[in-house]
Structure 1
Amino acid sequence: MARNIKYLAVHCTATSQTTSISAIQSYWQKQLGWKMPGYHFIIKPDGELVQLLPIEQVSNGVQGFNSQIINISYIGGVDQNNKPVDNRTPAQKATLLKKLKELKVKYPLAKIQGHRDFPNVHKACPSFDAIKEYKDV
C-alpha cells in the first residue's frame, strides 16, 4: 500500500563523522530495540548515499509522524563535545540537496523540514535550519 508522504524529514546522526553506518544500525537495534532503521537514507561524509530501507516501509525517524515521512540523514551534526554543529561536508550538502529534489518530484506536496521542526521535539537535529535552507526546493 502506498504511504501518504507529507514530510521529507532531514536528520543528523548526532555522532562523529567517522561513525560507521553499521555502528549506527547496531545502536538502533541493541540500545533502542528498534526493528526498523531510523532513516530511509543516510549520507556518508564523502557524499555517498546509502539506502537503509525502501521508502514504502516506515522508519523510526520522528515519533508519531513516521507513517507520513521519508527520513534522510547525514552522518555528523555534533562537535567533539557532542554539541550541535552543522558540519556537513560539501559532498553531503550536494547529495542531500540532490536527494531532496528527487523526492520532491515524486512527492510534490511533501514539506521539507528538520527533525527539530516537528511538534514536541526537544533536540537540535539536524543542527541547521532545514526549512530555510530548502524553502525553494
Structure 2
Amino acid sequence: MTALKTRFGTDLLVVHCSASGPHVDVGVRDITRWHVQRGFTTVGYHYVIRRNGELETGRRENAIGAHATGHNARSIGICLVGGVDLNNKPANNFTDEQFTTLECLLRELKVRYPKARICGHRDLSPDKNSDGRITPNEYTKACPSFDINPWLKERFGPL
C-alpha cells in the first residue's frame, strides 16, 4: 500500500454522508472497499459514524484525506452513515446517536484545531454567482443531506 502523505494544517472539519439508505449500516471496512474500487488507496474519511453512534477511525488524522476535492490537504473528513432515502434522494435520516457522536467528535476536534471551520461537504461547492454564499442551486452534491449551520448553532451556539 502506498504511504499516505501527512497534512500540515487543519482549516476545515468537513461533514459528509455515505449516501446510503435509511436501513443500511456500513462502517470503515465497507467504505474502504468502495473507495478502493474507485481507485483510492484506502478510505477517504478520517472518521465514520455508524447508525448506532459508534465512531470508527479511517485514515490517520494527520494524513491527507480523499473526501473533498481541492480541500483534502488541510481538512478532516467525517462521514455519517446514511443520507439518502429509499429512492436514493437526499434525506436527513441520521439517528440521534449519530448526532450525539458527531457533536462530541467536533468538540474534541475544535480543541485540537480551534481555528478550523466546520462545514458540510455541499458548503464547499463553488459560488457560481459570486455573491459570497453557496446556495442550494449551486451545490455540486447534497452531502451531508442537511444544513449543518443551524445544527451547529443549536448544539454549539455562535462559533
Provide TM-score, normalisation by structure 1. Answer: 0.92
Query: Is 1:112 aligned to 2:112, yes or no?
Result: no
Corresponding residue of 1:4: 9
Q: Distance in 1 between matches of 2:7 and 2:50?
A: 28
**46-55 vs 21-30, which deviates more?**
21-30
Shift of 1:59: 1.2
Q: Aligned runs of 1:18-97 on 2, under 5 Å?
A: 18-21=24-27, 22-30=29-37, 32-97=38-103
Shift of 1:39: 0.7
**Deviation sequence 1:72-99 (CA, Å, 0-9, x none):** 0110000011000011101000000100
Taking every aligned residue pair, what percent have the same amino acid on both sides? 38
Q: Distance in 2 between matches of 1:77 and 1:11?
A: 9
> SS of the residue aligned with 1:113?
strand
Q: Distance in 1 between matches of 2:93 and 2:7?
A: 34
Q: Using a 3 Å threshold, how does the CA distance of structure 1 residues 23 and 98 change in structure 2: closer, same or farther? A: same
Shift of 1:2: 5.7
Provide TM-score, normalisation by structure 2. Answer: 0.80
Q: Which has the bigger relative contact order, CA under 8 A and spacing at least 6? A: 1
Over aligned residues, Cα RMSD in angstroms?
1.5
Shift of 1:38: 1.9
Q: Which contiguous aligned blocks of 4+ residues in structure 1 show a shift greater than 4 angstroms?
A: none
Asked if the contact 1:36/1:59 (under 8 Å) is kept, the reply is no
Unaligned runs of 5+ in 2: 1-5, 127-138
Asked if the contact 1:36/1:58 (under 8 Å) is kept, the reply is no
Query: Is 1:15 aligned to 2:33, yes or no?
Result: no
Corresponding residue of 2:133: none
Asked if the contact 1:8/1:69 (under 8 Å) is kept, the reply is yes
